[in-house]
Chain A
Amino acid sequence: MSKNPQPILTVSAVRKVFGETEIIRGVDLELRDGQRHALIGPNGAGKSTLFHLISGHYAPDEGRIIFDGHEIQGASPEYINRLGLARSFQITNIFPKLSVFENLRIAVMRRHGLQNTLWRFMSSYANVREDTDRLLEQVRLQSRRDAIAGELSYSEQRSMEIAMALASEPKVILLDEPTAGMSHEETDYAIDLIKSATQGRSLLIVEHDMDAVFSLCDRISVLVYGQVIATGTPEEIRNNQKVKEAYLGEEFKV
């Protein structure tokens, strides 16, 4: 990998207003191909909103978002996903009453172009089954294959969501606080999983656990009150005076 790969996702001068409040106030962000990029910032900084803007949940009021050569601001979520951008959600977002296998299979089916197929049985697609089983293995959920997804433990559900995001073989993955609410061991486990699962892809991740961020990511952007105040390597961010003042505060020691 070259030192400075091309950007695969570029957010430029994006603004989003809800009613009277401007949540995203001109964000510029660049995710480089093959890198892991963390988005950090205090609560209410607009991290999730920015994810919603990139993934097509909301349309920005101003600015451009370019993904892999396509302008995607204001496009539909399904269009953006098909271009190769997959995401997870801050709050568990699964098919709760279906089995783990079925959850992942639905995620896999899209890549095989199975939305409108009415003339063949699902069971006849051996490749879909194999892909699904491979994903299960990748996130180490083989033993929970036939469990009802809603009955999994919280951290198992989060693992399954990572697998759902991976299922479409996306170029870019957006993970919104994948370790929120996990214990230390679970967090380590999940970060390890993310590290191996996102090998060779670009990752944009919102994460509060600083150890995890520093061990996982190539670059970090700091979002405060709807603006990116700094972007750089973990080392640069650690030593950035503005970041220390604005966000990390007194209790942050590295």
Chain B
Amino acid sequence: MKSNIWISLAVGTGLLLAFPALVSQPLVNAGIQMLIAALFACAFNLLCGQAGMLSFGHAAYFGIGTFATIHTMNAFGGAGLLPTPLMPLGGALIGLLTGGVAGWFATKRTGTYFAMITLALAELLHALAPHLKGVFGGEAGIYAMRMPAWGISFGSSIEVYYLTLAWVFVSLLLLYLFTLTPMGRLSLGLRENSHRLKFLGYDVHRLSVTVFAISAMFAGVAGGLQALHTESANYVLFEGHVSAAVVLNSYIGGVSAFLGPALGAVLMTFFGYAVSDLTRSWLLYQGLLFVLIMMFMPTGLIGVFKWLGTSRKTYGTAQLLPLICLGLSTGMILTAGVVFAVEMLQRVFSLDYRSMSALSPAAGWAPITLFGRDWLPNSIGTWIVPLSLLLVGVALTSQVKRLWRSLVDRVEHHRENSDAAIRRNER
């Protein structure tokens, strides 16, 4: 098991290092976004997954990190306070400080009230930022330029990619090492039972504030990397959906494992990049994905890997593989049905289509092009496609369930028999 983890880490690192050589320019930019999102999610998860404080306003510390880094880059008339590779330190410092102050208030309460305070603080910043022209540049935002440093121009995406990768790598390492320190161990106690911790002599508020500030600091680093990447900062960084995205990413990946949130963030950022060009409904798909994962695999994607590991031992790969293949194809059929229905409906109800129909009412329903074919929205044949896909999917789902149950029964039956045999032999 240990060696498996080391091998996957080595392969993952190798892939990340080779990534720019393997893909096109726009994908390198997406890769930078994925790395930043991964760091942001892990910083968030220090607070949420490890210390049990669900913050709904973590965009505040990310955004503050971005603004602080832009200001660091613009210091001394554009010469910069630090060499370019070290600029995110500005974000880290301001993240730490604001995290300390905001955390002092927020961690006075726990649970829902804590979440509400973090949300309110982020909204406060979002409302305030456009009015503070000097710091946040008003609605237009502020800009900076990456300057060459250490013999590197930092002009190309590839250079920014490697700089981001180095920062993310070091930050994740530090975040991981934190979990091994006395304070890291105590933060688990904070999640499990902060009340008991008080009666063991710990200053729970101080502990919570420190964890909050460290989490905000690394969120600030992620924001700083964003500043280096986009060379700009705008108050929309404080918007609620940024805070929501990091919560969703973390839960989709799985908050119970250290790298779970990173996995969720990488996949969802890539999903957003890949799908947002293809369809306008991609936010709907993102939401659907989240709901389905929370309903059927609440431990997140990491939980699925863990489940695969244990099930392979219990049931054997040979037994499991056909079932998993069938399950995956069922999933794909259901997905196809849902996507078809959603895309058709979206087009029928779109403004373009309706105004076109209004212009020439006599023409009736115009055909809609989807997946390289024309479909008539008013013909039954069109709707039979998603309907039959969904029906087949549902039928297959119950078949998969049945097969799974019989596999479980078989294995348990077998185990009981062998237990009985052992007992007979003992007699």
B189 touches A77 (CB 8 A): no
Q: Kindly identify, within residues 110 to 133 of chain A, every residue whose CB is under 8 Å from any CB belonging to chain B.
A: 110, 114-123, 125
Q: How far is the CB of A107 from chain B (nearest CB, A)?
A: 5
Chain B: CB-nearest residue to A161: B196
With contact pairs A116-B210, A119-B181, A122-B185 given, residues A78 and B203 touching in the complex (Cβ less than 8 Å): yes
Q: How far is the CB of A250 from chain B (nearest CB, A)?
A: 38
B178 surroundings in chain A (CB, below 8 A): 118
Chain A: CB-nearest residue to B178: A118
With contact pairs A116-B183, A120-B182, A125-B182 given, residues A107 and B200 touching in the complex (Cβ less than 8 Å): yes
B185 surroundings in chain A (CB, below 8 A): 102, 105-106, 109, 122
A122 touches B196 (CB 8 A): no
Contact flags (1/0) for A81-124 with B, using CB distance below 8 Å?
11000110100011111100010011101100011111111110
Residue in B186, B195, B198 whose beta carbon sits within 8 Å of that of A106 in the complex? B186
Q: Once bound together, how far apart are the Cα atoms of A43 and B210, in whole Å?
A: 41
Interface centre among A78, A102, A125 (most CB of B within 10 A): A78
| Interface size bracket, A side | 35 or more
B394 surroundings in chain A (CB, below 8 A): none
B329 surroundings in chain A (CB, below 8 A): none
Cβ of A159 within 8 Å of any chain B Cβ, yes or no, is: no
Cβ of A168 within 8 Å of any chain B Cβ, yes or no, is: yes
B204 surroundings in chain A (CB, below 8 A): 78
Q: Once bound together, how far apart are the Cα atoms of A111 and B188, in whole Å?
A: 18
B200 surroundings in chain A (CB, below 8 A): 81, 86, 106-107, 110, 164, 167-168
A120 surroundings in chain B (CB, below 8 A): 181-182
A110 touches B183 (CB 8 A): no
B183 surroundings in chain A (CB, below 8 A): 114-118
Cβ of B193 within 8 Å of any chain A Cβ, yes or no, is: yes
A57 surroundings in chain B (CB, below 8 A): 199
Q: Kindly identify, within residues 162 to 204 of chain B, every residue whose CB is under 8 Å from any CB belonging to chain A.
A: 177-178, 180-186, 188-189, 192-193, 195-204
**Number of residue pairs A-B, CB distance < 8 angstroms:** 92
Residue in A87, A95, A107, A121 whose beta carbon sits within 8 Å of that of B181 in the complex? A121
Interface of A is mostly: loop
Cβ of A55 within 8 Å of any chain B Cβ, yes or no, is: yes
Chain A: CB-nearest residue to B193: A95
Residue in A81, A95, A117 whose beta carbon sits within 8 Å of that of B199 in the complex? A81
Q: How far is the CB of A94 from chain B (nearest CB, A)?
A: 7
Cβ of B207 within 8 Å of any chain A Cβ, yes or no, is: yes
Q: Once bound together, how far apart are the Cα atoms of A115 and B201, in whole Å?
A: 10
Q: Once bound together, how far apart are the Cα atoms of A167 and B196, in whole Å?
A: 13
A118 surroundings in chain B (CB, below 8 A): 178, 181-183
A55 touches B181 (CB 8 A): no
Q: Kindly identify, within residues 364 to 380 of chain B, every residue whose CB is under 8 Å from any CB belonging to chain A.
A: none
Q: How far is the CB of B134 from chain A (nearest CB, A)?
A: 35
A77 touches B199 (CB 8 A): yes
Q: Once bound together, how far apart are the Cα atoms of A107 and B189, in whole Å?
A: 10
B182 touches A55 (CB 8 A): no
Chain B: CB-nearest residue to A174: B199
B195 surroundings in chain A (CB, below 8 A): 93
With contact pairs A110-B200, A115-B202 given, residues A96 and B182 touching in the complex (Cβ less than 8 Å): no
With contact pairs A94-B196, A95-B193, A96-B192 given, residues A81 and B201 touching in the complex (Cβ less than 8 Å): yes
B177 surroundings in chain A (CB, below 8 A): 121
A107 surroundings in chain B (CB, below 8 A): 200
Q: Once bound together, how far apart are the Cα atoms of A161 and B201, in whole Å?
A: 15
B203 touches A93 (CB 8 A): no
Chain A: CB-nearest residue to B207: A115
B202 touches A78 (CB 8 A): yes
Q: Kindly identify, within residues 35 to 53 of chain B, every residue whose CB is under 8 Å from any CB belonging to chain A.
A: none
Residue in B193, B201, B207 whose beta carbon sits within 8 Å of that of A94 in the complex? B193
Q: How far is the CB of B1 from chain A (nearest CB, A)?
A: 15
Q: Kindly identify, within residues 147 to 188 of chain A, every residue whose CB is under 8 Å from any CB belonging to chain B.
A: 164, 167-168
Q: Once bound together, how far apart are the Cα atoms of A109 and B201, in whole Å?
A: 10
Chain B: CB-nearest residue to A109: B182
Q: Once bound together, how far apart are the Cα atoms of A102 and B177, in whole Å?
A: 17
Q: How far is the CB of A178 from chain B (nearest CB, A)?
A: 15
A86 surroundings in chain B (CB, below 8 A): 199-200
Residue in B180, B188, B193, B203 whose beta carbon sits within 8 Å of that of A115 in the complex? B203
A114 surroundings in chain B (CB, below 8 A): 182-183, 186
Residue in B182, B188, B201 whose beta carbon sits within 8 Å of that of A117 in the complex? B182
Interface centre among A86, A87, A94, A118 (most CB of B within 10 A): A118
B201 touches A96 (CB 8 A): no
Q: Once bound together, how far apart are the Cα atoms of A23 and B197, in whole Å?
A: 26
What are 18 of the A-B contact pairs (CB < 8 Å)? A55-B199, A78-B198, A78-B202, A93-B195, A93-B199, A97-B192, A105-B185, A106-B186, A109-B182, A114-B182, A114-B183, A114-B186, A116-B210, A117-B183, A118-B181, A118-B182, A121-B177, A122-B185
Which 4 pairs, one residue from A and one from B, show the smallest C-beta to C-beta distance? A81-B201, A95-B192, A114-B182, A117-B182
Other than the given A81-B198, A95-B189, A107-B200, 6 more pairs (CB < 8 A) read: A87-B199, A93-B196, A106-B186, A106-B197, A115-B202, A115-B206
